[in-house]
Amino acid sequence: MKPTIDVMSSIRESADGLTLAELLSRHPGLARRTAQRTIAKLVEDGKVVAAGAGRTRRYLQTGPRLDAAARVGVQEGFPSFIPLSADSLDIVAYIDQPLEARKPVGYQSDFLDAYRPNATSYLSGSLRRQLHEMGRTAEAGAPAGTYSRTILNRLLIDLSWASSHLEGNTYSRLDTRELIEHGKAARGKGVVETQMILNHKTAIELLVENVENAGFNRYTLMNLHGALAENLLPNPAAEGRIRQHAVDIGKSVYRPLSTPQQIDEVLDMLLDKANRIDDPFEQSFFMMVHLPYLQPFADINKRTSRLAANLPLFRANLCPLTFLDVPEPAYSRATLGVYEMTRVELLRDLYVWAYERSTQEYLAIRQNLVEPDPLRLAWRDLIKQTVRDIVLHPEREPLACIVRAVGEQVPVDERPAVQALVVEELRRLHDGVLARYGLRPPYYTAWKAVHGR
């Protein structure tokens, strides 16, 4: 009993907590293994909370949050409909302290270094099986991206709205639908909010349309960030590029890496490890954890991580993670737990709850979805390229361009139907779908001026 009393007493006396090395220096007669077992028991009992990773991990007293009643009080400060583990409650207890009571921390390289793809698991085997069961779709054996393309119209609205909402965007779901489907900006909303929604739409389309070739590599990640950041950063040159300066995290004592060379090196390691993870959910959650923690971009890191976390799910034809109904305060606390404590439990609990919420929505609507037109699906690339070429060359006669493009590639018996599809696609063209064809608004405006639309 005495080692427990000695260890607890030392931790209680230190406002900033103690590392294992500091604790052992205060108690030279205490064996290292005994100290480790004692600390583990104190953490398990909820008397001590761990913050940080590796040699820099510090152990702090949880103060008055020791008994079951107090733990219920912590849960009351967090949405009660999201189940939390005891470890998550410890994280909430620490993060809910005032800033001045939390110890400033920098980037902990041990956090990423210690992760071994397919050996380390943030999500247990049983939890991954549960997620697979929840997210399984009828397209499980189909080519990569089949399911996400099938639900694309709904996905664009839900994920764009929910992810933007987590950034304080006040567009409603209905506003978002009007903007995405009809190109109508909501009245009374700022241009930044409108741009944020449209950027999400473009970024989601980028992933879905290129799912066969997209991966956790520099090209995909930079272009994903570039799409999300367009027209939203003070310095446009920072769109899709590694940040070149230090950044602060609002309402946090965490200080990310500030040297571009270090960020570059760690990002390469992060992407390499992500690519070697076999399970799509572990891969997804790994990106949710480590991309924001690194903060490789000047801003818009969390948005990038939320969309990147969907890429493995798109490829595996699993239900997407849309973040529908995720409360912003809960998401913020969960990410702060990663930033300041390098602890993933709270974000993990939120991830699992959010995914179950998403799957309930998507599996419920799946039976009401109209099956894709097989001819449109078969010739989708030709249709999009033809529409793009027509708009980029307003001096050309549209019907002649369609007849020529279809005649060069489509079998004779299918030409009339494919021509009709291109004409219909061109007729329905509007500002809200330009990214689908790789077009920007100025080109569309110029084309309309010539053709009277």
CATH code, domain with 36: 1.10.10.10
Q: Where are the alpha helices (DSSP H) in 243-343?
A: 260-275, 280-294, 301-308, 311-315, 328-341
Any binding-site annotation on 303?
yes
User: pLDDT for 52-101, tens place per residue?
Assistant: 666 667 787 765 433 444 444 445 557 888 999 989 999 999 999 999 99
Is residue 73, in this structure, part of any structural domain at all? no
Any binding-site annotation on 388?
no
Is residue 176, in this structure, part of any structural domain at all? yes
Per-residue pLDDT at 380: 87
| pLDDT of 15 above 70 | no
Any binding-site annotation on 9?
no
Is residue 42, in this structure, part of any structural domain at all? yes
- Type of residue numbered 207: L
What is the band of 428 on the pLDDT scale with cuts at 50, 70, 90?
Answer: confident
User: pLDDT for 289-331, tens place per residue?
Assistant: 999 999 999 999 999 999 999 999 999 999 999 999 999 999 9
**Rounded distance, CA 447 to CA 453, Å?**
8
- Type of residue numbered 166: L
The reply to whether 287 and 314 lie within a common domain is: yes
Any binding-site annotation on 306?
yes
Is residue 294, in this structure, part of any structural domain at all? yes
The reply to whether 347 and 294 lie within a common domain is: yes
User: pLDDT for 369-394, tens place per residue?
Assistant: 555 677 887 888 899 999 999 999 98
Is residue 71, in this structure, part of any structural domain at all? no
Per-residue pLDDT at 69: 41
Is residue 72, in this structure, part of any structural domain at all? no
Per-residue pLDDT at 368: 53
Any binding-site annotation on 85?
no
Is residue 156, in this structure, part of any structural domain at all? yes
**Rounded distance, CA 47 to CA 41, Å?**
9
Is residue 105, in this structure, part of any structural domain at all? yes
Name the residue with higher pLDDT: 152 or 362: 152
The reply to whether 348 and 378 lie within a common domain is: no
The reply to whether 55 and 95 lie within a common domain is: no
Per-residue pLDDT at 109: 96
The reply to whether 249 and 293 lie within a common domain is: yes
Per-residue pLDDT at 9: 80
The reply to whether 320 and 446 lie within a common domain is: no
The reply to whether 103 and 45 lie within a common domain is: no
The reply to whether 438 and 308 lie within a common domain is: no
* C-alpha distances in Å from residue 54, one per residue of 136, 162, 334: 37, 35, 20
- Range from 274-278, 331-335, 415-419 carrying the lowest mean pLDDT: 415-419
Count of domains forming the chain: 3
Any binding-site annotation on 304?
yes
Per-residue pLDDT at 12: 78
> What pTM, to 2 d.p., does this model score?
0.72
What is the band of 335 on the pLDDT scale with cuts at 50, 70, 90?
Answer: very high
Any binding-site annotation on 448?
no
The reply to whether 35 and 109 lie within a common domain is: no
The reply to whether 251 and 299 lie within a common domain is: yes
| pLDDT of 348 above 60 | yes
The reply to whether 263 and 383 lie within a common domain is: no
Beta strands 105-106 and 254-255: pairing type? Answer: parallel
Residue ending a domain, among 61, 94, 111, is 61
The reply to whether 18 and 118 lie within a common domain is: no
Per-residue pLDDT at 370: 53
| Domain coverage including residue 387 | 374-452
What is the band of 241 on the pLDDT scale with cuts at 50, 70, 90?
Answer: very high
Residue ending a domain, among 323, 347, 367, is 367
